[in-house]
Structure 1
Amino acid sequence: MLAELHTTVQRIAGNVERVLVGKPDVVRIALVTLLAEGHLLVEDVPGVGKTSLAKALARSIDCTVSRIQFTPDLLPSDITGVSIYNRQDNDFEFRPGPVFANIVVGDEINRASPKTQSALLECMEEHQVTVDGNTYTLDSPFMVIATQNPIEMEGTYALPEAQRDRFTARVSIGYPDPQAELAMVDEHAGHDPMRDLRPVSDADQVRKLVAAVRRVHLSPEVQRYAVELVSATRRLPELRLGASPRSTLHLVRAARAQAALAGRDFVVPDDIHAVAVPVLAHRLVLTAEAQAARRSPVDLIRALLQRVPVPHGAADPTGQWARDNRAGR
């Protein structure tokens, strides 16, 4: 199954990289989030390809996709759906909103009011929607890919901590290097690659891959390492708020997906390291003093990765990783 997973993921990654040139690490985190049954927050300045990443990933999978343009006048019912009175049946009829899709692309999520943003809380955590006392289950796979601009504050609302904590990972695309930008100009100037993008997988196959990721072995030593790493954020004097227990679950799920992408059926500490920054950094709240000192959550997580002891026991059932690690391979 891991061979099929690797082949499918390579096809999806190749599809997305036709649109988002020169950003393989960003595409990797997006795929890790998909396989970990999580949600992705793409946070960066305008024009670097936030929406293109979301749309390319959605279009690469043959499943239901919806796009929500978040605006200040958007209402919760515009997202979840609404009950309408049907005069013929003399009863209320539920009309599903755009959240009833496998992949939901939320563009500029911080332009909607906190009341509207909160409409996604139940969807993202419990994969269900409750309207007028009735609960409706969302189909699997279900993934929210939201974008936001962290620089422009006019007409925006900061994401509540409860909302940020539901995003499994956050990525910042950043500006491309000169070679990648030159390639982008050459390929995109007279042609839109998004038009030619065709699905290379489907919802049923993604469900099978997600099930395979769940079976990736996680040793007790690596479990303790993940817990110790998350717990250490709660003791940092630079933070008002450390990472939550939910973030521990997201961290190990993402590490399982990372291990599967690497072709392994067991998680090693390197997998935790590969996903720790995108999974944990956006959940941390700095103190005023740390902000004045220009400390960043990313720097704090990287420092913890250097400080928290890495387990030396066998990370996999065969003990191969521990032997290789001791040999310095």
Structure 2
Amino acid sequence: MIYLVLSIGLFVILLFVLGITEEKKWRLNKKMILSVFAFLLVLPGMIVKVDANETGVLYDPFNGGIQNRTLDEGIHFKSLFTEVKHVSTTNRTANLSVAGQTFDAIYAVFEITLVYYVDTTDAANFYRRAGNTTISAEQLNSLTKEILQSVTTQFDIYEVLGNKLEEVRSQFVTVLSTTLKERYNVTVVSGSFDDIDAGSRIEEIIQNKAEAIQMIEIAEQEKQRAEVEALTAIIRAENEAEVAKIRAEGNAEAQIILNSVTVNAIKQMYVLQFEESQDTSTPEVYGYLTIQEIAEIIVKQLYYDTWDGKLPEVITDGTGIIINP
């Protein structure tokens, strides 16, 4: 519109100037045709450039106002009377400080960071509803407070500041995303609670509660450790008793086996002295060893096989007791 006004103004000036004759009088002449070139000034008003990461929203006062058709990035031609509103489609960040009431009627101040953007297809509707190329701080604060209040009233302050914090944040972002999309055609990328201030008294109570829980957990761990150690000691004692029992039984069985083997060996050696036709009950007739002699030899051999090489500390010589130095 400004280009049209300038063109008309320049046209009138040129028309007046070119109409002045040498006699200082104004009259129509051929030179006045040059004043038409003043309307070339309207050409820049018919060319528009949409920058990168922007969408051009068209406003035509003679065609119903805001148009549904938008302009993509690049250079475009438009009507002289059409205005182009440049809406950024990049991610935007808003830092908000919003108060919310909890289920137990405690007010807390939430420091919130929102990341959002306007999609190209939503640019026209966004401009209609926001009334500008950006959503104002008042609009965003009002909506955020409304959504936060609807979520925090479902939780008490200890849940909000404790184990339900992530659930509160997730529910808040979900509801806010849906509502912003419905009311302003804005898409939420992420939302975070940077800080929650519920007052020093509440924070002190929560700190004490956390310390008490920690002490209980430590005591429970100590109790479990003591139970494990006691159970381990019982198992170890039972195992040692079982091992001792098995060892004793094994020694007894080994002795029985050894005795059995020794007897069998004596019998075998005694019998092998005789030929098939000889009487085994009369070894002296054939000059063979008696069973007692064979037993004495085997027992003596077993003694030497198991001797550890140490001499006895006390020995006798028939006349008395001699102490071995």
Pick the structure with more helix per residue: 2
Q: Which has the larger radius of gyration?
A: 2
TM-score (norm 2): 0.17
TM-score (norm 1): 0.17
